[in-house]
Amino acid sequence: MTDVGIDIAACRGRQQRVVEQMVQHDLDLVVVTQVEHIQYLAGPRFRWVFQPVAALSREGRLTLVAPQRLPEVAAADEVLTYEAQWRSTLRNDQRKASTDVLISALASQPQPRRMGVEFSTFGTYLSSHFEATLFDIEPALYSLRRRKDPDELALIRKAIAGTGRMYERAREIIAPGVTELHVFNELQSAAVEEFGEMLTGTGNDYQCGSRGGPPRKGRSAMAGELYILDLGPAFRGYFADNARTIAVAEPTDAQQLAWEFIMRAFEHVQREVRPGKNARALFREVRAILDEAPVGVFDHHLGHGIGLFPHEAPHLNPNWDDTFQEGETFTVEPGLYAPELQAGMRIENDYVVTLDGVECLTDFPLEL
C-alpha cells in the first residue's frame, strides 16, 4: 500500500478558492454532485455507483452527504450518510436519498438567493428544493482544477509510476507471437502491483499494428509491426496518460526516421513551454516540425491536461485557445502514421508546468 492520503489542509485551500468564486459571482451556496468535484473539495473518492452530494456555504462551511457509512477522513464541517444500499443491494433512487439528507441538514440555514451548481448534472429533484437563481459553477471548477496542488501532483505521480511498471513489463514480453490480451493482462497486473490496490481507471490503447484500441481476442504481434501502448491508469481517481511505441522486432529504417522527428517535437516542447505560452501556437509549431517528416502524417491533437478526468485543460488543440499556467499537468503526444510504418507510432510524455519551464514526469525509455 502507498502512503499517499487525503490532505485536509489542501482540500480546505481548494474550498477557499471556491468561496472566492462565490464572492465574485454573489453566490450564497454551491452544491456539487459529481464525484470528481466532491473528491476535489472534500477528499474522499466515491465509486461511480454512488450518488453523494456536498454543499459549500459562502462562509466556508462544507456539508458532505456520503453513501452508506462515514468516510475515515474528510475535509468537511458536517458529514452525514444516506442509505445507498439495502441489504447490499444498490438503490436506484440514490439521488433522492442523498438529497433528502442534504435538505434536512440545510433546513436551519437561510434559503440561498443565488446558488452555484453543475449545469451538466444538476437534477430536477435536487433543484425542486430551492427557489434560488441558479448559476453554472462548473466552468469555474474546471478552471480551478487546472493548477494542481502538491497532494494532487503526488497522486498523479503515483499513477504515472504505474505506467512506468507497465512499460517495463511490456518490453520484457513483446515479441513475435505474443497476443494482445496477454500483454493487456500482464500490464494491468504490473500497475496493480505498483499501486498495491485496484486501479480506479484504465486505458487506453493496447493494439499492435494499429493506431489504437482495446486488445483483440486472438490477435498476435508480428515481426515488423509497431506496438502502440497508450496507457491511462488512474490511482485513487487521478489519471496518468502517456504512451510508448515498441517495435515487435527490430525497427525498420522508415520507423526509426519517423521516431527521430517525434523526438524533435519533444525537444521543441521542452524548450518552449512555460507559463504564458499559448497552447494553440505550440500545436501549430509542433505540427510544422512533424510535417517535415518524409514519412507519416500527424492528424490528431498534440495533448491535453490530466487530473481527475483523462482530458482536462490546457488543450493542445487548435479548437481551443488555452495558455499554460504554472502548476498544470499536461500531456504531449506527437504521432506519425502511414502504411509503410505498419500503421504508425505515437509517443506521449506527461509534464508539469514550473515557474520557468516544464518538468517531465515520465522519465521512461523512449526508444522503439
Block means of pLDDT (10 residues each) for the chain, length 368 residues?
A: 80 98 98 98 97 98 97 97 97 97 95 97 94 97 98 98 98 98 97 95 92 96 97 96 96 97 98 98 98 97 97 98 98 97 97 98 97
CATH 3.40.350.10 domain range(s) in the chain: 8-144
| Domain spanning 150-360, CATH class | alpha beta
3-state class (DSSP) for residue 113: coil
Enumerate residues 6+ apart whose C-beta is below 8 A from 81: 65, 66, 67, 68, 69, 70, 101
* Helix and strand numbers, DSSP H then E, in the chain: 9, 20
Paired with 90 in beta bridges are 85
Query: Cell 425542486 appears where?
Result: 128
Query: Cell 510508448 appears where?
Result: 244
What is 8-144's CATH number?
3.40.350.10
What is the pLDDT, as a whole number, of residue 201?
86
What is the pLDDT, as a whole number, of residue 204?
87
Which residues of the chain form beta strands (DSSP E)? 29-32, 53-57, 62-67, 78-82, 85-86, 89-90, 114-117, 133-136, 204-205, 226-231, 234-235, 238-239, 242-247, 303-305, 312-316, 329-332, 335-338, 343-346, 349-353, 358-360
What is the pLDDT, as a whole number, of residue 3?
66
Asked whether 305 and 313 are in contact (CB, 8 A), the reply is yes
Picking from 204, 137, 207, 203, the residue whose alpha carbon sits closest to that of residue 179 is: 207
Total count of residues recorded for the chain: 368
Picking from 323, 220, 205, the residue whose alpha carbon sits closest to that of residue 272 is: 323
